Structure 1
Amino acid sequence: MKRTLLIGALIAFNLMLVFSQRREPVLRTDVPLDSIRLSDPFILADRQTATYYMTGTGGMLWKSKDLEKWTGPFRVIQHDPESWMGPRPMVWAAELHAYNGKYYNFATFTNRDVKIDTVKGNVIERRASHVLVSDKPGGPYIPMANSIYLPAHMPTLDGTFWVDEDGKPYMIYCHEWLQNWNGTMEKIELKPDLSGPVGEGKILFRASDSPWSKERDEEGNIIPNKVTDGPFLFRTQTGRLGMLWTSWVFDVYTQGVAYSESGTLDGPWIHEKEPITPPNYGHGMLFRTFDGKLLMAVHSHSVDENGRYIRIPRLFEVDDSGDKIIVGN
């Protein structure tokens, strides 16, 4: 029953995103961070413009000079309507990354008109992580040569960026649990200019590897949760490679962290036993402010009296001076 309710809630939330993403944005100024409704917030601190740029699900952009008052939203994504995405795709979990003099928008696109699979009665839509490029952090972000980064038969999401110890750029992404029923975290090498993939993806770990994420099966037994969500890579000041990622503890949206024993993407990835943030916060990322403070951006996850999801960006201070990050207030 809980699984059915969760899938139903996710479908309702996705439909809400479809309608909200089709409306033209109304520009607002001096908006406090806690007055913005945004899932999967990602903040790029751009020193060249002395500006913080925030994006996330929906693909819109917000700008701020102080992290307190924001201006937006701006429409900055220009996808190709003739591509597999179709004319009006949903946009999830957009991220902004500066690399080699360019700015890249890693985002997940969903074409709800294309069905690629049906698993356990659930229709799987065409969904994949993708990369767009711009000369400026404020966009516009446009397609590159490759129209497909990840296999068309796989629903993938939440792609993020990392340059590993071999000096090569990679996309780290999730193969969605709705198809494989045990979500995976995977990597794929990218071309030097990030314009397309090199080779095939490789599994880094599975949702069931986590000691903290859990759910109940049809008989009420406690089992590992199936969801992998929101990867973000970082190194501590001691050089240790870690990954933030999000799943569920029963019906509580929860973020954990794993660390690579080898110091590379290939791991093995050892998961901390306990979540790293308070309950009902997740899909986090780390960035350093212009005055050197390390912050974690996450969104809250709650339901209002009308049953609607409420997701609001929240910033936590983080200490990365040791081998493990410590999340403060």
Structure 2
Amino acid sequence: MILSIIKRGVLLCSLAFPLSGSMFAQNVAQTLKTDIPLDSIRLSDPFILADRPTQTYYMTGTGGKLWKSKDLKKWTGPYTIAQTDPKSWMGPTPMIWAAELHAYKGKYYYFATFTNKAIKLGEGLERRACHVLVSDRPEGPYVPMKDSTYLPEDKLTLDATLWTDTDGKPYMIFCHEWLQNGDGTVEKIAMKPDFSGTTGPSKLLFLASDSPWSREKNKDGTDRPNKVTDGPWLFRTKTGKLGMLWTSWIYDVYTQGVAYSESGKLDGPWVQEKEPVSPPNFGHGMLFRTFKGKLLMSIHSHRSVNGRTVRVPRLFEVDDSGDKLAIGKQILDAR
């Protein structure tokens, strides 16, 4: 996510803020806002966990903070919930990107991309990698587990998410950064049963260049597929079709596409849809069901405020009754 922002020259400070990774972050007094409308929150990569035990919606994303709501209309936050280890590779104040919350077998897991600007890889690229924290509660605090590294430390990875495949095993799905490999990837790697680390090598699912809809310009002015892979999110339709939302660019427009697995399994093969699945200027979407059973997509769009580009969470209705997702209207009252 972060490097696709850099590629477009958008000011990072207008999109997200560094989050202190100190183990003592929870002891700092937090200034909270209440009754904030969704479209008044500035947030990239909005992820919403609908937690039935607490009948509460929990939203996080880039910046790593947490917002709470009972009705998806009015939100309270931001709460600091991540407690990383300042002695780890992340350092004392890592930046946090594209955080997600996943409930799994009685625990809550915080999947996120952490960046340590003090560590450089290759051609001056800041070290960033996907990592997982754990908590007994959806609101945290989320703390480190056993393994200090989930993916190879010389590999720039981002936007991890969780999927349990037909073999019953959980997998981390993530992107390998295009600035390092020249053609962004989406890959899978097996998780340990307790999510304390990963096991075995990762496997390529597809490349950015597989996309028929994303575009950028070659030096000679001709078109080519865009290099960026961003924000994978797995889903299964009511007919059993396995699909994956993911985001790239059409020139300078952030755009979301979708791919479907022909085998119904993570290994694919993955076939890309010819056209984007969402309107232009929307991306990094995920799906969740409201407590009344309505399927929604949480996604962000760009907006100019006083000459600065900001990202704003949005909600869309979604129909998954067929083999392919159908994105409906944008909604303000999601109840």
User: Shorter-chain TM-score: what band?
Assistant: over 0.9
Shift of 1:7: 2.6
**Residue 107 of structure 2 corresponds to residue 107 of structure 1:** no
The whole-number CA distance in structure 2 between the counterparts of 1:116 and 1:134 is 31
Matched AA of 1:94: A
The whole-number CA distance in structure 1 between the counterparts of 2:306 and 2:14 is 16
The whole-number CA distance in structure 1 between the counterparts of 2:217 and 2:113 is 29
> Conserved in 1, the CA contact under 8 Å of 2:18 and 2:93?
no
Shift of 1:25: 5.4
Shift of 1:267: 0.3
Partner of 1:51: 56
Matched AA of 1:135: D
Shift of 1:20: 5.3
Alignment of 1:16-27 (within 5 A): 21=19, 26-27=31-32
The whole-number CA distance in structure 1 between the counterparts of 2:37 and 2:222 is 43
Shift of 1:217: 1.1
Alignment of 1:201-240 (within 5 A): 201-240=202-241
Partner of 2:103: 98
Secondary structure of the 2:279 match is coil
Partner of 2:246: 245
The whole-number CA distance in structure 2 between the counterparts of 1:4 and 1:168 is 31
Aligned length: 320
Alignment of 1:51-90 (within 5 A): 51-90=56-95
Partner of 2:321: 321
> Conserved in 2, the CA contact under 8 Å of 1:56 and 1:95?
yes
Shift of 1:38: 0.2
**Residue 42 of structure 2 corresponds to residue 37 of structure 1:** yes
Backbone CA RMSD of aligned residues: 1.8
Partner of 1:177: 178
Shift of 1:302: 3.7
Secondary structure of the 2:286 match is strand
**Percent sequence identity over aligned pairs:** 67
> Conserved in 1, the CA contact under 8 Å of 2:108 and 2:135?
yes
Partner of 1:9: 9
Secondary structure of the 2:9 match is helix
Secondary structure of the 1:142 match is coil
**Residue 29 of structure 2 corresponds to residue 28 of structure 1:** no
Partner of 2:133: 132
| Shift in CA distance, 49/248, structure 1 to aligned 2, threshold 3 Å | same
> Conserved in 2, the CA contact under 8 Å of 1:280 and 1:302?
no
TM-score (norm 2): 0.92
Query: 5+ residue gaps in structure 1?
Result: none
Structure 1 runs of 4+ aligned residues shifted over 2 Å read: 3-8, 15-26, 301-306
> Conserved in 1, the CA contact under 8 Å of 2:16 and 2:43?
no
Secondary structure of the 1:43 match is strand
Partner of 1:269: 270
> Conserved in 2, the CA contact under 8 Å of 1:184 and 1:206?
yes
> Conserved in 1, the CA contact under 8 Å of 2:318 and 2:327?
yes
TM-score (norm 1): 0.94
1:161-197 alpha-carbon deviations (Å, 9 max, x no partner): 0000011110000000011110000000000111101
Partner of 1:141: 142
The whole-number CA distance in structure 1 between the counterparts of 2:239 and 2:125 is 42
The whole-number CA distance in structure 1 between the counterparts of 2:4 and 2:229 is 18
Partner of 2:191: 190
Partner of 2:281: 280
| Shift in CA distance, 43/176, structure 1 to aligned 2, threshold 3 Å | same
The whole-number CA distance in structure 2 between the counterparts of 1:165 and 1:220 is 44
| Shift in CA distance, 8/299, structure 1 to aligned 2, threshold 3 Å | closer
1:16-62 alpha-carbon deviations (Å, 9 max, x no partner): 56755469853000000000000000000000000000000011000
| Shift in CA distance, 55/207, structure 1 to aligned 2, threshold 3 Å | same
| Shift in CA distance, 255/25, structure 1 to aligned 2, threshold 3 Å | farther
The whole-number CA distance in structure 2 between the counterparts of 1:283 and 1:190 is 23
Matched AA of 2:257: G
The whole-number CA distance in structure 2 between the counterparts of 1:290 and 1:73 is 23
Shift of 1:117: 1.1
1:247-292 alpha-carbon deviations (Å, 9 max, x no partner): 0000000000000001011000001110011100000000000000
